[in-house]
A and B are shown apart, each in its own frame.
Chain A
Amino acid sequence: MTFHVDTSTGKTLGIVDLSGRLDAANSSDLLKTFAQWQQQTNLFIFNCAKLDLIDSSGLGAIVSCLRKALERNGELKLSGLSPKVSMVFELTKASKLFSIFPDTGSAIQSF
């Protein structure tokens, strides 16, 4: 995963590019690193375009990140979900918790 800040809309947005798998093996890393990113901003976009697979731990981690962002009056939106990853979000009803955008561009515009 990579992190960079986008200020094109005048707001400081944290864009996280997730790739590969997000599962039991690396979801705790995401949570730890998220805490560090929160020092820079509270508005996030998780770009899932390169995310192949996610399981319940991975989803749990993303939902925890959402909660942490909301606790500080921030937001976390998702973009670029592949059909397969979308299916997992829909199955677990996690799709109801997030604003989901087809690509990072539209997500940025929505803030």
Chain B
Amino acid sequence: MKTLIIVKEKDYDWLRPIFPGIHPLLVPICNKPFIEFLIDFAILAGSDALRLVSDGPLSDVEEYCDNGIRWGIPISYGSFLSSDDMELIMEKNHRYCSGERILSMNGFLFIKYDKQHAYRELFAARPEGEILSCSKGSLSLTGTSGETTSCDETLPLSLLELDSLDVYYRLSMEILSFSESPYVIPGYSIEPYCHIGRNVVISKSAEIIKPVIIGNNVQIMAGSIIGPEAVIGSNVIIDRESTVKRSIVFENTYIGEHLEVQNRIAAGNILIEPESGISITMDDPHLLTGIKSSRSTERLIQSLVHRVLALLIITVQLVPFLLLWPILKIQGRWKKSINSYYTNEEGKTLLLTTTAIERKGAISLVAAALSLDRFSLLFSVLSGRLAIIGSGPIAANADKSAAFHEMESWYKAAVFSYAEAEEWPVSGSEKAIVERYFAVHGNPLLDIAMTIKAFLNLIHEIPAP
């Protein structure tokens, strides 16, 4: 039997703004990414292969799950279009499905099961058809196994639609309430109602009240009380005299001293009240912050390379700039404007002075060809505020903000854009394609080549009249 998991973007999009930067399928439920519960169930039900398809991006999930070797089941991935119906989706996965019994998990649903049941046998005996369904999805079987018998027995299973934060929160609290978990929960369970990970340092005067689930590399400082009903993710620090009760703390979070986190979800510097969905972003590092993991050497080398490139281009442009700029200024063809643009740091904007050269007359054409209009921006690269090559800086307008949030993870505000280097159209959706490509495949050497290409392309560019 093979499993096909079909997840539609519109069913999980509600989670995106709540936990930005985490793919909804990877959102942790009791410290275990949601997709893992589905993988566990697929294996329990007797699958020997799994395919995950979506009309939304799956690269984060693919990076996490890889080829499934961690679970001993081959995992493959695919995509479909939002307008496709079930029939078409099955046809797009025809090769995967043909000749096999397929267990389809359709929808952004949590499957409530108990690992102690013999689902393999139950599913093998089950005839083709829908097993369970709800308004937002279903679980069904297609194809016959050798041993199908007619079966009216209801399987010890139920579906839970994950469509609000409240549902997510109550599910997590419910899982905590089992003395012996029906699911495989990460961590060591020395006693019932308690799962604790590795390298957990609990101060002598701190108190842990069951039920709790604690991840890896967690520090609980003096006088703190964790629980009852607390889920603490990995790499979390709970500072002195604080209490965490009936709450979920996501990984990489710092909770300050003398605080009371009760009936809340704390994810980095975001604090949420689950029942109402009210969320606040804390700017105060004494209260709540995210602990950032660093990819420092990579970034260091890259920023170094960018600065060197900027310096090189400045040296090349310096003399022409000093000669041509005064002339263009007098001719009135040197137009400066100050605008605020989005930067690589979350939510921060940058005030940049951009220049446009009116292309009239030989001097202005030469200046444009040498990209002298970018001269002033190069200094921002030296100060580290811009990259030399990346995405063209996007103006921080209210109407553009929605489109921007979609791009945030790979956006790198820069003087030159990959689109210019590759001679792609410099606007519209196609620009995004090439920028996304290089955001992932980029490396310092490639950036050097691309910057030179962009610079040369602009020299050869025939300016529009």
Question: Taking the complex as a whole, does A directly touch B, i.e. does some CB pair lie under 8 Å apart?
Answer: yes
Q: Is B261 an interface residue (CB 8 A)?
A: yes
Q: Which A77-96 residues have C-beta < 8 A from chain B? A: 83-84, 87-88, 90-93
CA distance A57 to B284 in the complex (A): 9
Contact (Cβ within 8 A) B262 A92 = no
CA distance A68 to B288 in the complex (A): 28
Contact (Cβ within 8 A) B280 A88 = yes
Contact (Cβ within 8 A) B284 A56 = yes
Return A83 CB to nearest CB of chain B, in Å.
5
CA distance A65 to B178 in the complex (A): 47
Instruction: Please count the residue pairs between chain A and chain B whose beta carbons lie under 8 angstroms apart in the complex.
Output: 40
CA distance A56 to B264 in the complex (A): 19
**Most chain-A Cβ atoms within 10 A of its Cβ — which of B260, B264, B276?**
B260
CA distance A23 to B258 in the complex (A): 19
Return A59 CB to nearest CB of chain B, in Å.
9
CA distance A56 to B285 in the complex (A): 9
The chain B residue sitting closest to A87, CB to CB, is B280
Size of B's binding interface in residues, CB under 8 A: 17
Please encode chain B, from 248 to 266, with 1 for each CB lying within 8 Å of some chain A CB and 0 for all others: 0000000000111110100
Q: Is A55 an interface residue (CB 8 A)?
A: yes
Contact (Cβ within 8 A) A91 B260 = yes
Please encode chain B, from 231 to 270, with 1 for each CB lying within 8 Å of some chain A CB and 0 for all others: 0000000000000000000000000001111101000000
Contact (Cβ within 8 A) A92 B259 = yes
Contact (Cβ within 8 A) B283 A93 = no
Contact (Cβ within 8 A) A87 B287 = no
Known: A93-B259, A93-B260. A84 touches B278 (CB 8 A): yes
Q: Is B128 an interface residue (CB 8 A)?
A: no
Known: A56-B286, A56-B287. A90 touches B278 (CB 8 A): no
Contact (Cβ within 8 A) B261 A55 = no
Contact (Cβ within 8 A) B280 A92 = no
Known: A92-B258, A93-B260. A84 touches B280 (CB 8 A): yes
Q: Which B83-103 residues have C-beta < 8 A from chain A? A: none
Contacts of B278 in A (CB 8 A): 83-84, 87
Contact (Cβ within 8 A) A83 B276 = yes
The chain A residue sitting closest to B288, CB to CB, is A91
Size of A's binding interface in residues, CB under 8 A: 13
Contacts of A90 in B (CB 8 A): 260, 262
Return B436 CB to nearest CB of chain A, in Å.
34
Contacts of A87 in B (CB 8 A): 264, 271, 273, 278, 280
Return B206 CB to nearest CB of chain A, in Å.
18
Contacts of B271 in A (CB 8 A): 87, 91
Contact (Cβ within 8 A) B287 A55 = yes
Return A85 CB to nearest CB of chain B, in Å.
9
Return A102 CB to nearest CB of chain B, in Å.
16
Contacts of A83 in B (CB 8 A): 273, 276, 278
Return B160 CB to nearest CB of chain A, in Å.
27
Known: A83-B278, A84-B278. A91 touches B283 (CB 8 A): no
Contacts of B258 in A (CB 8 A): 92-93
The chain B residue sitting closest to A96, CB to CB, is B260
Contact (Cβ within 8 A) A55 B259 = no
Q: Could you jot down 19 A-B contacts, CB within 8 Å? A: A23-B283, A55-B282, A55-B283, A56-B284, A57-B284, A83-B273, A83-B276, A83-B278, A84-B278, A84-B280, A87-B278, A88-B287, A90-B262, A91-B261, A91-B271, A92-B259, A93-B258, A93-B259, A93-B260
Apart from A92-B258, A93-B260, 16 more pairs, CB < 8 Å: A23-B284, A55-B283, A55-B284, A55-B287, A84-B280, A87-B273, A87-B278, A88-B280, A88-B282, A90-B262, A91-B261, A91-B264, A91-B288, A92-B259, A92-B287, A93-B258
